[in-house]
Structures are given as C-alpha cells and as structure tokens.
Amino acid sequence: MRLALFQLDASNAAGGEAGLGRIGALMRAAREAGAGLAHLPELALPGYGAGAEALRETAMRAPEILARLEDLVAETGVALALGLPVLDGGAVLNAAILLRPNRERVLYAKRFLYGDYERAAFSAGAAVSPVVEVAGFRVGLLVCFDVEFPETVRELALAGADLVLVPTALPESAGARFIARSLVPTRAFENSLFLSYADWCGADAAFRYQGLSAIVGPDGIPLAQAGEAGAEMLLADLDPAAFEAPRAANNYLGELLARRSG
C-alpha cells in the first residue's frame, strides 16, 4: 500500500469551505501519486490553534463535514485519516477519524490532552482505538501526545495493529525534535510496526509547530521524513515483507505474550 502523508503549513489552516476545498485538492494529489491512504495532521479542520470557539463550532458541524469527506473518499478511492473536533453529547473531543471507501467510519478520541489549551477546549476520550483493515493492513489510531506513552502503541500492537496513524500538532522545541526524530521511531521499532506521524509546520496565531513529519518502518528507520519548515507530501510504499526481519530479531510482542500465557 502506498501512503501519502501531508505535512501542512499552519499559516494556511482553515475551516469551512476553504478547508474542505484544500483537503479535496490533497486527496486528488494523493490519488495522482498512486496512494491508497492519505494522512493529515491533528485538527486538520479548522486548524490546531483556531481557538476553543472555532473548535466547538467545527465540532457542531462535524456530521456535515464527515459526510462531505466521505464523498471525497468515494470520489478518489483513497482512504483518509485526519484530526477533527467532534461532539459527544455536550463535550468536544479531539478526534482522529479514518474514512474508507464503502466502509464504516472509525473514530478515536484523544485520551491524553496536552497543556492548558487542550484541557480548556476538549474533554478526554476513554476508549482504545478500534483496529481495522485498510488495503491488507491492520490499522489503529492515536492523536499527538498519546503516542508519547509507550502503553498506547503497545496496546494497539497487542490488538493486532501493524500500522498506527498519528495526526499531531507538535509545538516547536528542542524536546519536540527528540520526540519526532527519536521517540516516534522507537515506538515503531519496539512494536515492529509501521507508524505514520503527520504534523503541522509554520505558525498560526497561537503556536509554532515542529514539522518533521515521518513515515517509519517496523525497523525504526524512516521511510520518508519531512523537514522542519514547509508543507510537504511524503510518499512511502508499505511492504508486508518489512515485518519479517525486525520481528525475527526482536520479538518483543511474542516474548510478552509468552510470559503472559505462561
């Protein structure tokens, strides 16, 4: 399967028709590149730093937005993973959504909220992501800060995931460089799975972002890596044969399961 990851420039973030139009253009670009799955950052609509009011307004429109996005998925034949605020009763959730042609949508709500900004805007999710099939791969979802806890990726790996999609909005810092360059590849390596980490770059009115989006293989080596600045489309062909050597050399999951069953 060919995966298209889009690192987006936060200075161009938008909601409403402008945001949907931009996503449509990205989906068509993914199709032209031969991708079967497109991956966008956290809160791709309306933008991570849009503020609590705009996030709630977008969450209220989420059913309409999701219907429009499902039309794009049907039109292009490309599955789509992205971040979007959604409502759960009166609560606003920071969600990752996976849309697949002619399949039921998948929603995961971020469980680990980062900082005062998120805690003021969102309620935390409680459920582990479903693991579902996309082009022969078993796929799970996390959002940004979630991936920094080893338990979250491990529980998806134990549930059978071999690809984890992480929409993110990583603020720029020295620590963020370590997260993107070292921690994210480690999560892929220690679970012998593919991990896609789609970040913003540039700045909006509230934050400056790290960039350094990446698609990482089961051996912890990036298959594609973006820079710190500039919107980019990363492409990587995910080959199931890539699981064999890492899982044979470091069978962490097998050892863990053997101890549990013993």
Is 144 labeled as catalytic in the residue annotation? yes
Q: Give me the DSSP letters along the chain.
A: -EEEEEEEEGGG---HHHHHHHHHHHHHHHHHTT-SEEE--TTTTT-GGG-HHHHHHHHHTHHHHHHHHHHHHHHH--EEEEEEEEEETTEEEEEEEEE-TTS--EEEE-SS--HHHHHHH-BPP-SPPP-EEETTEEEEE--GGGGGSHHHHHHHHHTT-SEEEEE---B-SHHHHHIIIIIHHHHHHHHTSEEEEE-EESB-SS-BB----EEE-TTS-EEEE--SSS-EEEEEE--GGGGHHHHHH--HHHHHHHHHH-
Q: Which of 53, 57, 104, 144 is catalytic?
A: 144
57 counts as catalytic: no
Options 42, 118, 148, 232, the catalytic residue: 42
Active site (catalytic) residues: 42, 110, 144
